[in-house]
């Protein structure tokens, strides 16, 4: 089985660099902080890091607004620090993948600045999506809404000082969408891809991989009230067929670097449509967000898993699994919070880690961190402003990691003034508090990752469902039997050797909100 690529069943660890570890005392995490904390990743046993964007950026969307795609922001330590990180991670056998943002740039990108200064009709404007407004120019060219709230168009002031054209931004107004019909846009992306791959980077997570291509004529949305997590497949802003030509272009570059992987962020829920992105000449893998959207209900979890497996199988691609990331409420909170939320999050982690395919853990998941309720005046996500203070945004899942000690900043930084405040009651959640405790969530993750590596034999990309009560899931995967109890009562288990459990058994039975791995035969 030597032809199985490294990423097929890999554990990726997502690092939100602002929130992982701060090495220079400015209260914001950085690459130097990751270097100092690499032991944590080795101890946990991950195969690869996915770094959220660290390129030069004014940070209007914390790095997803890129002003120079081929340099690292000084806030994170500059290019030399990235080189050091790649080298140090590789020395430990950990791959490094980066976030790539091809749908848009920052409004501070030199291309956008020159698009503004040159005026309507200029070749510089053709790199973005500028249009004249309707009603004599005063209303936006169509009814598209920004994913972050408000209109997806902003009107510019022309070089002569008059109100002028509008530009499209599916996200913040500081993130103008690129015009992917212009060949210069792909040429520049190719330069960027090679720039990082030549430096030893092991691949990319591709932001808004179902965006980029826009339909001719930019037709109105039928339902402009839509939210990101409930994207519908009729939305003209996303999943336009022209996107596949772009992915083929990206893949043709990546094929020059056979060690490198591409994983697309694809909010597309029709399986046939989703699988198109994973054809042999497009992306290697696609994020599938079904589990993230699923409540703790056995039948729904089973459907989400079966559906994700089926979608990937259509393209013979590796499935991918994730329970959380920097855009969604942390799962401990999603599943109800408190002890129950944590029990369920651990149970779901065991389910996820039993599945064939690549698994993406989000920093802090291994500590069982909950979402944080932050006061209004510290919120930074552009969603808060753009929604007119109706959506609090994603800051609550981005609070810095607690490492040690009994008060904020819990070893995250030398500076108590961290970019988002840390809860004072996180003492039991720090890495230091959990590491020696065999019952901690950190020890649980560490043991589960080790077992996944040593015991599972993923010879195919499917699982075998076994009969069970409606509140229970039982499946065989990689030679291991996984049982999840999502019902209200304890359940007896078959007499197999117990390999791991998310909660202790009670009188030999599996309690509610718990999962277990049993030796399959």
- For ligand NOJ, the binding residues (CB under 6 A) are 61, 64, 101, 171, 207-208, 265, 326-327
Residue nearest to Mg ion (CB): 30
> Integer distance in angstroms from the first to the last C-alpha of the chain?
23
Residue 473 beta carbon to ligand NOJ: minimum distance, rounded to whole angstroms: 29
Taking CB under 5 A as the rule, which mask of x and - marks residues 28-47 in contact with Mg ion? Answer: x-x-----------------
In angstroms, what is the minimal distance from the CB of 24 to Mg ion?
4
d(CA 114, CA 257): 33
352 and 304 Cβ atoms separated by less than 8 Å:
no
CB of 64 to ligand NOJ, least distance (A): 3
CA-wise closest residue to 304 among 290, 292, 317 = 290
User: Which residue from 72, 66, 81 is spatially nearest to 31, judged by alpha carbons?
Assistant: 81
**Which residue out of 99, 177, 265, 395 is catalytically annotated?**
265
Interface region with Mg ion, contact rule CB under 5 A, candidates 26-34, 266-274, 333-341, 418-426: 26-34
Q: Which of 415, 10, 462 is nearest to 202 (CA)?
A: 10
Residue number of the CB atom closest to ligand NOJ: 64
Q: Does 462 bind Mg ion (CB under 5 A)?
A: no
Q: Which residue, 127 or 398, is less far from ligand NOJ as judged by CB?
A: 398
Total residues binding Mg ion (CB under 5 A): 5
Does the active-site annotation cover 158?
no
HSE value, Cβ hemisphere, 13 Å, CA-based, for 404: 9
Q: Are 256 and 262 spatial neighbours (Cβ–Cβ below 8 Å)?
A: no
Q: Does 26 bind Mg ion (CB under 5 A)?
A: yes
Shortest Å, Cβ 33 to Mg ion: 7
Decide whether 63 or 409 has the Cβ nearer to ligand NOJ: 63
Question: Does residue 227 carry a catalytic annotation?
Answer: no
24 near Mg ion, rule: CB under 5 A: yes
Least Å distance, CB 464 to ligand NOJ, is 34
Contacting range for Mg ion; rule: CB under 5 A; set: 24-32, 131-139, 369-377, 391-399:
24-32
Of 211, 137, 133, nearest to 171 by C-alpha is 211
Q: Is 22 in the site for Mg ion (CB under 5 A)?
A: yes
* CA nearest neighbour of 101 among 260, 211, 257: 211
User: How far is residue 180's CA from residue 246's CA, in Å, rounded to a whole number?
Assistant: 8
User: Which residue, among 433, 471, 451, has the nearest Cα to 520 in the 3D structure?
Assistant: 451
**Integer Cα distance of 455 and 459 in angstroms:** 12
Q: Closest separation between CB of residue 363 and ligand NOJ, Å?
A: 14
Catalytic member of 99, 177, 202, 207: 207
Q: Please choose which of Mg ion, ligand NOJ, none residue 26 contacts, taking the beta carbon within 5 to 8 angstroms, the exact cut-off set by kind.
A: Mg ion
Query: Which among ligand NOJ, Mg ion, none contacts residue 188 (Cβ within 5 to 8 A by kind)?
Result: none
Q: Which is nearer to ligand NOJ, 55 or 442 (CB)?
A: 55
Q: CB-wise, 327 or 462, nearer to ligand NOJ? A: 327
- SS3 for 468-520 is CCCCEEEEEECCEEEEEECCCCCECCCCCCEEEECCCCECCEECCCEEEEEEC
Residue 327 partner contact from ligand NOJ, Mg ion, none using kind-dependent CB cut-offs of 5 to 8 Å? ligand NOJ
In terms of DSSP bridges, do strands 68-72 and 514-519 run parallel, antiparallel, or are they unpaired? unpaired
Helix/strand/coil for 313: helix
Query: Which of ligand NOJ, Mg ion, none interacts with 24 (beta carbon under 5 to 8 A by kind)?
Result: Mg ion
- Residue 61's binding partner among Mg ion, ligand NOJ, none (Cβ under 5 to 8 angstroms by kind) is ligand NOJ
Kindly write down the DSSP assignment for every residue of 158-221, as one continuous string: -TTSSEEEEEE-SS-TTSPBB-TTSHHHHHHHHHHHHHHHHTT--EEEETTTT-S---TT-PPP
Kindly tell me which of 101 and 283 has the beta carbon lying closer to ligand NOJ: 101
User: What residues line the site for Mg ion (CB under 5 A)?
Assistant: 22, 24, 26, 28, 30
Instruction: Report the catalytic residues.
Output: 207, 265
């Amino acid at each position: 089985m030597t032809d199985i690529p490294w990423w097929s069943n890999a554990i990726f660890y997502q690092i939100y660099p602002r929130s992982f570890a701060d090495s220079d005392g400015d209260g914001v995490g950085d690459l130097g902080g990751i270097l100092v904390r690499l032991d944590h990743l080795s101890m946990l046993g991950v195969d690869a890091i996915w770094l959220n964007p660290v390129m030069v950026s004014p940070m209007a969307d914390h790095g997803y607004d890129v002003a120079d795609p081929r340099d690292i922001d000084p806030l994170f330590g500059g290019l030399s620090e990235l080189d050091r990180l790649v080298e140090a991670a590789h020395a430990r056998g950990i791959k490094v993948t980066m976030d790539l943002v091809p749908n848009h740039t920052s409004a501070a990108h030199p291309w956008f600045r020159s698009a503004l200064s040159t005026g309507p009709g200029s070749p510089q404007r053709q790199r973005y999506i500028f249009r004249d407004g309707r009603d004599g120019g005063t209303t936006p060219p169509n009814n598209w809404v920004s994913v972050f709230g408000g209109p997806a168009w902003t009107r510019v002031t022309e070089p002569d000082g008059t109100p002028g054209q509008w530009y499209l931004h599916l996200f913040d107004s500081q993130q103008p969408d690129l015009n992917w019909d212009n060949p210069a846009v792909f040429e520049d992306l190719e330069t960027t891809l090679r720039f990082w791959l030549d430096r030893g980077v092991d691949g990319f997570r591709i932001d808004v991989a179902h965006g980029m291509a826009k339909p001719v004529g930019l037709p109105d949305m039928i339902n402009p009230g839509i939210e990101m997590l409930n994207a519908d497949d009729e939305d003209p802003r996303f999943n336009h067929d022209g996107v596949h030509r772009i992915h083929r272009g990206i893949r043709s570059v990546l094929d020059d670097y056979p060690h490198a992987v591409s994983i697309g962020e694809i909010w597309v829920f029709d399986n046939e449509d989703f699988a198109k992105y994973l054809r042999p000449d497009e992306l290697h893998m696609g994020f599938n967000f079904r589990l993230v959207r699923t409540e703790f209900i056995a039948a729904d979890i089973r459907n989400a898993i079966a559906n994700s497996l089926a979608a990937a199988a259509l393209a013979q691609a590796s499935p991918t699994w994730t329970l959380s990331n920097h855009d969604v409420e942390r799962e401990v909170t999603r599943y109800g919070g408190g002890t129950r939320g944590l029990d369920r999050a651990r149970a779901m982690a065991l389910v996820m880690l039993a599945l064939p395919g690549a698994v993406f853990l989000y920093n802090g998941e291994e500590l069982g961190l909950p979402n944080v309720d932050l006061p209004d005046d510290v919120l930074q996500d552009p969603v808060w402003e753009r929604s007119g203070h109706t959506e609090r945004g994603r800051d609550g899942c981005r609070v810095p990691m607690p490492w040690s000690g009994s008060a904020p900043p819990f070893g995250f930084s030398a500076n108590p003034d961290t970019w988002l405040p840390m809860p004072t009651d996180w003492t039991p959640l720090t890495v230091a508090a959990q590491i020696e405790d065999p019952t901690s969530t950190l020890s649980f993750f560490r043991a589960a990752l080790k077992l996944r590596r040593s015991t599972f034999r993923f010879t195919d990309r499917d699982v075998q469902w076994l009969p069970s009560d409606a509140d229970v899931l039982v499946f065989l995967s990689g030679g291991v039997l996984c049982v999840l109890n999502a019902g209200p009562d304890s359940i007896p288990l078959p007499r197999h050797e117990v390999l791991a459990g998310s909660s202790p058994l009670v009188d030999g039975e599996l309690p509610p909100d718990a999962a277990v791995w049993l030796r399959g035969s």
